Amino acid sequence: FIIPFTIDTTQIDDCCASIEPTPRASVTIPSPANAFDRRTQHHHIMSETDNKQEASRKETMRNASLAASATNKEKAARATSASEFVKFTTAALEFQIMTLQAQLELIRSLSKCSDDEKVAMLFGILDEDKDGKIDARELASGIKKLRADLTFKESLEAAVDRIAAFDTDDDARLNPAEFKTFLESMAKIMGTTFHELSELVVLQVLFSQTGNTFEEEVVGHVAQETGAMDEAVAETKVLNKAMLDKRMMALFKLFDLNGDGRVNFKEIAIGLHNMTKEDMEASAQAAFTALLLFDKEDERTLDYEEFTKLILNIVASSDVKFDEVADAMTAAACSPAVVTEDELVELMVADELYNGLKEMQEAAADVADAVDILQYGRMKKLFSLWDLDHNGKIDGAELTLGLRKFSGAQGLEETMEDAIAAVLTFDEDGDAKLDEVEFAVALVKLAKETDTELHNLVDFLVVVSALKDSDAAEEKFIQSHSKSITEGIIEVQEEIEKLLLEGDSED
């Protein structure tokens, strides 16, 4: 407050002069230097605790105002009158401002904290049950806040991998020292300092707007409490150790006959045949099962990690450890068994059966995706835009015109060839045209080849088709050749059918 009048200071001076000084006891005043040293020592002792407590208080204030803002937003959404809506919305905004102020103060408080204080604060945030250790579920929750692009399953897998790598006491959890080592490793990988990383991670975890849903949290708790997460950590540690074993590396090279860094169906079958000395039929069956179980990327081959899982699975089925049988397995693989001509034929037949099954599975998956996308409104719009004569079918000429709108950089002849190839590939009923389901399957394949989300691809094609007009000259040329394009497709289909019949008769 500002006092709205002035004071005559001469009267104060006169008054003070008339007062007799009161005798005081002698007091020894410490030198400024000594007093400063004591204050510095006291500050050094208290600062770390004070900084951490201050940051924790700011975090609590932020969480409280954030929760209050969310509550008032919910109340505003349920308001039954305009005055209620204004009241709750105003309160929500006020708490949002308080949240931002608390965040700003928290950032300032963190800047005063040492690296160890930041790590301790982050550890405390992640250690939800306050047992002094971070389990896989708790770490996964933190990872999800740092990496919003990860799915719930991917965050759990990442957490299991990290704990398996840095858990030195084999309790499937990270204690404070192991957690700090984990962060130091992250800093090296990211090419930053531990000081910068620790503050960044704390802020990201605290201020993240992402995280697990309620359902995901429940699943995570159940997985942790039933021991599934601990078991996954233990299995990953065994896998990591086995992958670093030079004998496993040598075994993989013995299986990888063509040296491409992956093992295919035939290589697995022959390798198992050499190692187990069982007949080729049993080895082929084992290879078949192995690819179905461990080929997670559906590439019809196994990389080194997937191969290691296969070998560990074989070993576990015999109730032994890899270290106990590694030498024997390597020796057996180094002594190839004789493969007879009949066994080679068995292997070729099994290989064809496996590839045929995978193609059937892929086709079934494509049809399932196609049926799903057919329920999407814009899919029907796209089909209608390309089906120019609205007869419920897209012929070669119509498909060419549709493709031209988003592949103008191609030559017209190349686009026509792509359209004809698409009809030949996806026309199941042999009428040289694509109905809605066949057209949808074609789009599913196109989305996979271009690594585009299917719905996004359909949205893009609808927009381009609706906004971009066809080149008049090209459209006239394509329409004039519509009949000949369809006849050409039918001719090729008949020729293929003829060749297939001849092949069957020879068999």
Q: Residues 418, 448: one domain?
A: yes
Domain boundary among 60, 90, 113: 113
Which of 356, 391, 420 finishes a domain? 356
56-65, 314-323, 327-336, 352-361 — which is least confidently predicted?
Answer: 352-361
Confidence of residue 402 (pLDDT cuts 50, 70, 90): confident
- The residue whose two tokens read 């088709």 is 465
Are 214 and 267 found together in one domain?
no
Better-predicted residue by pLDDT, 347 or 167: 167
Domain of 330 in residue numbering reads as: 245-356
Residue 139 maps to a domain: yes
434 SS3 class: strand
What was the pLDDT predicted at 337? 60
Q: Which amino acid is at 334?
A: C
CA dihedral over 190, 152, 100, 111, signed as positive or negative = negative
pTM of the full structure: 0.54
In a domain, 450, yes or no: yes
Q: Does residue 378 share a domain with residue 497?
A: yes
- pLDDT, greater one: 324 or 166: 166
Residues 179, 262 within the same domain: no
- Look up residue 301 and give its DSSP letter: E
Residue at 294 is within a domain? yes
* CB-CB contact of 160 with 232 (8 Å): yes
| pLDDT confidence of residue 367 | 65
Task: Check residues 507 and 193 and name the one with the higher pLDDT.
Answer: 193
pLDDT in tens, 178-212: 999 999 898 888 888 887 887 778 777 777 777 78
CA distance 203 to 88: 29
Asked if residue 146 belongs to a domain, the reply is yes
Q: What is the pLDDT of residues 26-50, one digit of tens each?
A: 444 444 444 444 444 444 444 555 6
Structural contact between residues 255 and 333, judged by C-beta atoms closer than 8 angstroms: yes
pLDDT exceeding 90 applies to what percent of the chain?
Answer: 14
Cβ-contact 80, 128 below 8 angstroms: no
Phi first, then psi: give them for residue 394, nearest 5 degrees: -110, 115
**pLDDT tens column, 284-304:** 777 767 776 777 776 778 899
Beta partners for residue 301, in sequence order: 264
Number of domains in the chain: 4
pLDDT for the residue numbered 29: 42
Residue 343 has what pLDDT? 65
Output the 3-class SS for 270-284.
HHHHHHHCCCHHHHH
Whether 11 is covered by a domain: the verdict is no
What's the CA gap between 178 and 169, in Å, rounded? 9
